[in-house]
A and B are shown apart, each in its own frame.
Chain A
């Protein structure tokens, strides 16, 4: 099973700050890494697919990068509504797995 390890687990940040969340895979997953945002009481929402592909409707301040075993989600200019837990996910091989999540708190 491919283990995805995110860092940090928790981060308290101020609005307009630049935030970087990393996801490290226990073996290479190519670019089959995806990022989701989950707000309390809501279902997850896809932000980035295949490491860096943005989606229509997702604010441009969200971007992704990486390949192989190291991936990054960056939020440029944090907004108060970005308070949420962020998960990476790999679809490279079964069983599909998620990172443990990174909770962002807005100061």
Chain B
């Protein structure tokens, strides 16, 4: 059974940092791209970032480029999202998802999400 479990969310002040983690199991992690999608309270889904399998190429939404960094540890089946210079508009539930392909595709498995609140 595929499982994705996010952790690391919480309350942080504007300008602060958080590191989200996503622990994966039940599939050959190194073969698939992984992605982060966020959802502000009461709002829709927004793609944040993705990392491919193999070459580990990274991709970002313009709204987080230069502030967020995605990475993966294939040895431990983990994907991370380092979030710096956080803003109030980054407040959201962050979902980790497995991508169907090595670079892009649909998101066939999702974690339960972790809530990030940016507020003073």
With A43-B111, A43-B113, A49-B100 as known contacts, state yes or no: A97 contacts B106, CB within 8 Å.
no
The reply to whether B113 and A87 form a contact with Cβ atoms under 8 Å apart is no
The reply to whether B107 and A89 form a contact with Cβ atoms under 8 Å apart is yes
CB-CB contacts below 8 Å: A49-107 with B:
49-50, 55, 85, 87, 89, 91, 94-101
A24 within 8 A of B: no
CB-CB contacts below 8 Å: B42-82 with A:
44-47, 50, 59-62
With A43-B95, A44-B95, A95-B62 as known contacts, state yes or no: A89 contacts B44, CB within 8 Å.
no
With A44-B45, A101-B45 as known contacts, state yes or no: A96 contacts B110, CB within 8 Å.
no
Distance from A82 Cβ to chain B, minimum over Cβ atoms (Å): 19
A45 within 8 A of B: yes
B108 within 8 A of A: yes
Q: Which of B37, B60, B62 has the most CB of A within 10 A?
A: B37
Residues in A with CB closer than 8 Å to B111 are: 43
How many residues from A make CB contacts under 8 Å with B? 22
Q: Which of A38, A87, A96, A99 has the most CB of B within 10 A?
A: A96
**A-B pairs with beta carbons under 8 Å apart, 26 shown:** A34-B106, A36-B45, A36-B107, A43-B111, A44-B45, A45-B110, A46-B106, A46-B107, A46-B108, A49-B100, A49-B105, A49-B106, A49-B108, A50-B106, A87-B45, A89-B45, A94-B59, A95-B59, A96-B47, A96-B50, A96-B104, A98-B44, A98-B46, A98-B47, A101-B44, A101-B45
**Hey, which bits of chain A sit against chain B, CB under 8 A?**
34, 36, 38, 43-46, 49-50, 55, 85, 87, 89, 91, 94-101
**Hey, which bits of chain B sit against chain A, CB under 8 A?**
35, 37, 44-47, 50, 59-62, 95, 100, 104-108, 110-113
* Further pairs besides A45-B110, A49-B105, A96-B35: 7, Cβ < 8 Å: A46-B108, A87-B45, A91-B105, A91-B106, A95-B47, A98-B37, A100-B44
